[in-house]
Amino acid sequence: MTGDSLDLLNKPSDFRTMLTNRLYYLVKPWIPRSVRMSIRRIPAKRKRKDCAAIWPINERASQQPNNWKGWPERKEFAIVLTHDVEGPGGLEKCRDLAELEMKLGFRSSFNFIPEGNYEVPQELIHWLIENGFEVGVHDLKHDGKLFHSRASFGRLAPRINGHLREWSASGFRSAFMLRNLEWVHDLDIDYDASTFDTDPFEPQPEGAGTIFPFWVSSSATVAGRIRNDRLEGVTARQRGGYVELPYTLPQDSTLFLVLGEKTPAIWLNKLDWIASRGGMALVNVHPDYITFGDRPGRHQYSSALYSDLLQHVVRNHPSRFWNPLAKDLAKWYKSTQRLFQSPVVPSKSPARFSGMRALVLLYSTYPADPRPRRAAEALVQNGMEVEVICLKKAESEPSEELVNGVRVKRLPFQHQRGGKLGYLKQYASFLAATFVLSTWRALRRRYALIHVHNMPDALVFSAAAPKLLGAKVLLDLHDPMPELMRTIFGMDELSLPVRLLKRVEKWSLRFADSVVTVNRACKTIFSKRSCPSEKITVIMNSPDESIFCAKRPVVEDPAPQLPTKPFVIMYHGSIVERHGLDLAVKALSQLRKFIPEAELRIYGTPTVFLHRILDTIRRSDLEQAVRYFGPKNLNEIVAAIGECDVGIVPNRKSIFTELNTPTRIFEYLSQAKPVIAPRAQGILDYFAPDELFYFTLGDADDLAAQLLKVASDKALTTATIAKGQSVYWDHMWSNERNRFIDLVGNALGEERIPQLQSIPEPV
């Protein structure tokens, strides 16, 4: 690891930031803590909004390092608990905090300031170590001056080393997360914990950009000169390196005191995200700010919030996590991972698309439409400035808004269903408006990319002016319009409207510089009739792992038996005739002959077709067995999936449903739920016969038979889920996102850049 590769991680981002930090720490001793917290809150609100794309979760930080070998005992992720004790009040609460953790089966590391405003009792150190905890060194005086200069750090390092020896400590963390990882080689440590994956609220805000530990080798050391078996007892400087452990859950002080959060929801959501990526959840909790039993003061929070985090780990991830002490993780990392593995840290190069602008044209709503949202946010995370022109869903929506770093402009058109002329009128009006607006904007600013989502295909021609001015046009085909319109309106393939749609499709694909679509079946259709296959890239509609945190299937009793509790069938998505909700109701009626407690739960926006279904239900014996919950957001859908026994995709037979690969399949599989899907080409292209439960497209009797099989044979169900999840792992959004970013890079004439070599963190 060279000094150059450490520059962005070690240094403040610019002179102004450095000067501000120096002034802050100069006057800090004379400013009361309450005033300091108030001062920090002022810019924090702005930073939180501006940095929404990279905090609290930076998707790029989830990439596993090269040669990563996984956690011990096949654990899926690690959780490391650390504590920085800043004052006498925190010192008094150390035992209470340790006892809270012991009750829940956890152990942690306590970092003490050796020359601060308190003296650490030897009895406390002995008590912590005897009970399985760790003691580390937290800075020297906690005055912000440790990294003032290279010369002063060199003079202070021997004193820190003396305290490390006195406490038999092997780990270090600096005050205020100020750092220079090259200088830290002067310390006799096994690990340092002075970095983070992403945290724009810190004085030195550049993050390590990873949720994994990494090795920091000295620029003076030639990699490979020192063997693993010679490391025992050798100092960090002598062996040429140490393990860096970035904190990956936000600090408690930032979360509860600066940002004013009242619940641990951000902690819980990010921990689940880290678990789904197999990373390291490392948290820094200060006993100074915790209250036990008492009502929290203005700059304190209840220990119940921290307890909720630990209970969430035990309750939601039993047997999946490893809870080592920080020193044990460092020792394991050195002994089992590649010693001089290249660290995943920011380089001096700019973000991949830094300085570039993209315009997204979307005849839909944003951010409600998940595919455009994920793509736009991926571009923002790679440094591109992204603007979206879309529909205005309701009058209450703002006409302009910044959403996770994406600038959204909503036009006063509403997406309304209607006849052929209604569709044509809506499309033509929106196309004319976007043509004028994109032309006007292109004359005022230069766009590198125009990302157009169908429907309609002709929307791509709104990008004519930006294309003439040098922008590359990417056409994203969500659906093949000829097949969809044939399905909706029952039109013949040789009818004039269908032939015209095919001609417009061909012109549109020819106009675009690159084309992306949702699955192999659609690519085959487009490449056969409209453009060469090499121009088309498949980017699947995978669920967002930060919301659909993956779970493992629960092993059930292998003996086939009917359920003794309500058997819950779930349907969610668009409630239209082609999606076959009426078939699901018929199948439920047959299933209840064998499982009287079976019920169907429906989630989605109400439509005319839904009212027809509900009228049918009211005239039958199923009124108590079918429950309609209305539309739900994605987090609510995740919770609903957790309560169901099986997810269904009960499509009717049509040329469109033959091609479709529903995202719902991946959503159910991510939560370890079995899926019953139609035997259609768009699904068979990805899933083998034993990876899902299949029924004949449009056949309610066969759907009922598969429901009975899922309900009665738990061993088969568990095995099928596990096999289906292997397909889900291959097509997680993190993988599809990287393919999308590479596609954009190729379209812009850029050679592929490794994703983890450019991880900017805005100030």
pLDDT tens sequence across 60-98: 888 888 778 889 988 999 999 999 999 999 999 999 999
> Cα separation of 660 and 681, whole Å?
8
- The neighbour count for residue 299, using CB atoms within 10 Å, is 16
- For residue 335, give Cα distances in angstroms to 19, 235, 330: 41, 16, 9
What is the Cα 550 distance to its own chain's centre?
Answer: 11
CA-CA distance, 425 to 442, in Å (whole number)? Answer: 26
Rounded CA separation 625/156 (Å): 73
Contact, 200 vs 761, CB < 8 A? yes
Q: How far is CA 701 from the centre of its chain?
A: 39
| Mean local confidence (pLDDT), 678-698 | 93
Summarize pLDDT for 55-68 with one digit per residue, the tens. 999 888 888 887 78
Q: Quick one: tokens of 61?
A: 């930080």
How far apart (Å, rounded) are the C-alpha atoms in residues 169 and 164? 5
Q: Which is more confidently placed, 592 or 489?
A: 592
Q: How far apart are CA 85 and CA 139, in angstroms?
A: 11
Confidence of residue 29 (pLDDT cuts 50, 70, 90): low
Two tokens at 150?
A: 């290279």
In angstroms, the CA 692 to CA 678 distance is 10
Q: Strand, helix or coil at 709?
A: helix
Q: What is the DSSP letter of 8?
A: H
- Distance, in Å, from the CA atom of 182 to the CA atom of 3, rounded to the nearest integer, reads 7
CB 211 within 8 A of CB 203: no
> Against a cut of 0.75, is the pTM above it?
no
- Of the CA atoms within 13 Å of residue 342, those in its CB half-sphere come to 11
Query: What band does 118 get if pLDDT is binned at 50, 70 and 90?
Result: very high
Across 306-335, average pLDDT: 94
Higher pLDDT, 663 or 227: 663
Where does the pLDDT of residue 416 fall: very low under 50, low under 70, confident under 90, or very high at 90 and above?
A: low
Per-residue confidence (pLDDT) for residue 343, from 0 to 100 = 41
Please name which of 240, 195, 204, 196 lies closest in space to residue 219, comparing C-alpha atoms: 240
Is the pLDDT confidence value at 5 over 80?
A: no
**Counts of helices then strands in the chain (DSSP H, E):** 27, 25
What percentage of the chain has pLDDT greater than the value 70?
85
Q: Which two tokens stand for residue 81?
A: 């608990």
Distance (Å, rounded) from C-alpha 706 to C-alpha 516?
Answer: 34
Taking residues 385-398, what's their average pLDDT?
89
Cβ–Cβ under 8 Å, residues 280 and 213 = yes
59 against 585, higher pLDDT:
585
DSSP string, 650-697: -PPP-HHHHH---HHHHHHHHTT--EEEE--HHHHTT--TTTSEEE-T
The pLDDT of residue 311: 96
Strand ranges across the sheet with 626-628: 626-628, 599-603, 568-572, 646-648, 675-678, 693-695
What pLDDT is recorded for position 28?
A: 56
Does residue 212 have a pLDDT over 90? Answer: yes
Query: H-helix or E-strand containing 409?
Result: strand 406-411
DSSP 465: H
Q: Do residues 570 and 641 touch, judged by C-beta distance below 8 A?
A: yes
Rounded Cα gap, residues 380 and 58, in angstroms = 11
Question: Averaged over 312-330, what is the pLDDT?
Answer: 95
Find out whether 164 and 170 touch, Cβ atoms under 8 Å. yes
| pLDDT band of 44, cuts 50, 70, 90 | confident
| pLDDT at res. 481 | 87
d(CA 594, CA 612): 26
Q: In the predicted model, what is the mean pLDDT of residues 691-712?
A: 95
Angle of the 581-591 helix axis to the 608-618 helix axis, nearest 10:
20
Burial state string for 644-656 with b = 16 or more CB within 10 A and e = fewer than 16: bbbbbbbbbbbeb
Task: Quickly state the pLDDT bin for 559 (edges 50, 70, 90).
Answer: low
More confident residue, 297 or 523: 523
Averaged pLDDT, 315-344: 79
- Read off the pLDDT of each residue in 206-230 and give the average, rounded to a whole number: 63
Q: What residues pair up with 258 in beta bridges, in sequence order? A: none
Determine the pLDDT at residue 292: 92
Over residues 631-665, the pLDDT tens digits come to 988 889 999 999 999 999 999 988 888 888 999 99
Across 98-109, average pLDDT = 97
Highest mean pLDDT among 329-343, 491-505, 536-550 belongs to 491-505
Taking residues 528-550, report their average pLDDT.
86
Q: For residue 738, is pLDDT > 80? A: yes
- Residues whose CB is less than 8 angstroms from the CB of residue 677 and which lie 6 or more positions away in sequence, other chains included: 648, 649, 662, 665, 683, 687, 692, 693, 694, 695
d(CA 568, CA 8): 52
Cα separation, 668 vs 644, in Å, equals 10
> What confidence score (pLDDT) does residue 286 get?
97
Here the tokens at position 570 are 């779930």
As beta bridge partners, residue 675 has: 647
Structure tokens at 579: 């999606």
Q: Is the pLDDT of residue 603 over 80?
A: yes
Which has more confidence, 353 or 273? Answer: 273
Q: Using only C-alpha atoms, what is the Rg of the chain?
A: 29
d(Cα 128, Cα 131) in Å, to the nearest integer? 5
Model confidence band, residue 552 (pLDDT cutoffs 50, 70, 90)? low
Around 60, how many Cα atoms within 13 Å sit in the side-chain half-sphere?
28
231-269 tens-digit pLDDT: 334 445 445 589 999 999 999 999 999 898 999 999 999
pLDDT in the model for residue 395: 81
Give the β-pairing of 406-411 and 400-403: antiparallel
Q: Report the DSSP beta bridge partners of residue 84.
A: 111
Q: How far apart are CA 56 and CA 645, in angstroms?
A: 32
Alpha carbon distance 215, 345 (integer Å):
10
Say yes or no to pLDDT of 342 above 70: no
Q: How far is CA 602 from the centre of its chain?
A: 27
Tally of residues, the chain: 763
| 351 vs 411, higher pLDDT | 411
Residue 216 DSSP SS3: strand
State the pairing for strand pair 514-517/191-192: unpaired
pLDDT of 8 over the 50 cut? no
Q: Determine how many CB atoms are found less than 10 A away from the CB of residue 17.
A: 16
Mean pLDDT of the chain: 84
**Identity of the amino acid at 282:** L
CA–CA separation, 665 vs 571, rounded Å? 11
Apex 477 CA angle, 473 and 482, nearest 5: 125
**pLDDT at position 15:** 44
Q: Is the torsion defined by CA of 180, 181, 182, 187 positive or negative? A: positive
User: What's the average model confidence in pLDDT over 202-220?
Assistant: 81
For residue 501, which of 516, 479, 523, 475 has the smallest C-alpha distance?
Answer: 479
CA distances from 599 to 193, 536, 583, 645, 745 (A): 51, 42, 14, 10, 48
- Which residues are paired to 138 by β-bridges? 173
pLDDT tens per residue, range 442-474: 998 889 999 999 889 999 999 999 999 999 999
DSSP-assigned letters across all residues of 306-374 = HHHHHHHHHHHSTTTEE---HHHHHHHHHHHS-TTPPP----SSPPTTTT-EEEEEESS-TTTSHHHHH
Query: For the residues 176-205, what does the mean pLDDT come to?
Result: 90
- The 10s digit of each residue's pLDDT in 418-428 is 566 767 788 88
Among candidate residues 8, 698, 63, the one with its CA nearest the CA of residue 344: 63
How far is Cα 314 from Cα 508, in angstroms, rounded to an integer? Answer: 53
In whole angstroms, give the CA distance from residue 726 to residue 721: 9
